């Protein structure tokens, strides 16, 4: 049985801070780390995944908020985090703001973590997005042995597309920070994964860690960033 756990990154610091002032380094808005509540969400998610069987492989978007979330999950399961640009943020100006450079707009202190992640396609289109998601799914199907527990830490848009391609179902989902969807595949011949448990579930989070403030969507960053 191959088990794939899709999880969104925890709540980032940029959602609570006004970071578009002149002179602010772009990575503080575009590549932020986790806020305190995000670190709590990551820790709770790590405990939840470890209790359910842990993770043998942790694949993460190379953005800092995802890597920090993945680090917590990997530490709980004694796994290694593999950064992969194929599950990275959508490199469209309407999502991340324009202009955006994956090299200059990301936290330079985390550049070493991204060295083996591959190269992003930039600027990106809907076609390139679909292509890289499809490549991830092909890679997952070809992994041996089949009996693996794989965690993928990514962003809302990427996770929705992965879920659609892997399960064959288009699911409308507002992916809460650190929400989880688990998919399973019993045999190598199976073309799709079956959804196991809740879609985008966040019941594992404490009651105080489940609410995503609405104010920040309107006042503190580009509205489309709520999907990132």
166-188 confidence digits (pLDDT tens): 999 888 888 899 999 999 999 98
Domains and CATH numbers, the chain: 2-227 (3.40.50.1240)
Neighbour tally for 124: CB within 10 Å: 21
Chain segment 195-208, per-residue pLDDT in tens: 998 999 988 987 76
Predicted model pTM: 0.87
Confidence of residue 212 (pLDDT cuts 50, 70, 90): low
Q: What is the Cα–Cα distance from 200 to 177, expressed in whole angstroms? A: 9
Chain segment 110-138, per-residue pLDDT in tens: 999 988 898 887 778 888 889 999 999 99
pLDDT of residue 26: 74
Give the SS3 label for residue 186. Answer: coil
- Give the mean model confidence (pLDDT) for residues 47-69: 94
The b/e string for 82-119 (b: 16+ C-beta within 10 A; e otherwise) is ebbbbbbbbbbeebbbeebebeebbbeebeebbeebee
Confidence of residue 20 (pLDDT cuts 50, 70, 90): low
pLDDT of residue 93: 66
Chain segment 73-102, per-residue pLDDT in tens: 999 888 899 999 999 988 876 666 656 778
pLDDT of residue 102: 80
Confidence of residue 216 (pLDDT cuts 50, 70, 90): very low
Q: Where does residue 187 rank: exposed (0-12), middle (13-18), buried (19+ CB within 10 A)?
A: exposed
């Amino acid at each position: 049985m191959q088990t794939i756990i899709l999880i969104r990154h925890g709540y980032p610091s940029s959602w609570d801070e006004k970071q578009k002032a002149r002179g602010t380094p772009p990575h503080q808005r575009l590549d932020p780390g986790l806020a305190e509540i995000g670190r709590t969400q990551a820790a709770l998610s790590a405990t939840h995944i470890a209790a359910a069987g842990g993770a043998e492989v942790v694949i993460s978007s190379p953005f800092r908020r995802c890597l920090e979330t993945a680090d917590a999950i990997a530490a709980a399961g004694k796994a290694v985090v593999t950064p992969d640009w194929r599950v990275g943020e959508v490199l469209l100006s309407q999502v991340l703001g324009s202009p955006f450079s994956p090299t200059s707009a990301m936290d330079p202190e985390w550049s070493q973590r991204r060295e083996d992640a591959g190269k992003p396609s930039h600027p990106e289109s809907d076609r390139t997005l679909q292509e890289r998601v499809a490549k991830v799914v092909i890679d997952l199907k070809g992994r041996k042995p089949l009996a693996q527990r794989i965690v993928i830490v990514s962003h809302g848009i990427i996770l929705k597309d992965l879920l659609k391609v892997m399960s064959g179902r288009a699911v409308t989902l507002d992916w809460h920070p650190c929400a989880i969807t688990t998919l399973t595949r019993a045999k190598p011949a199976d073309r799709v994964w079956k959804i196991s448990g809740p879609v985008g579930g966040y019941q594992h989070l404490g009651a105080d860690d489940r609410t995503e403030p609405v104010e920040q969507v309107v006042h503190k960053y580009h509205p489309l960033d709520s999907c990132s």
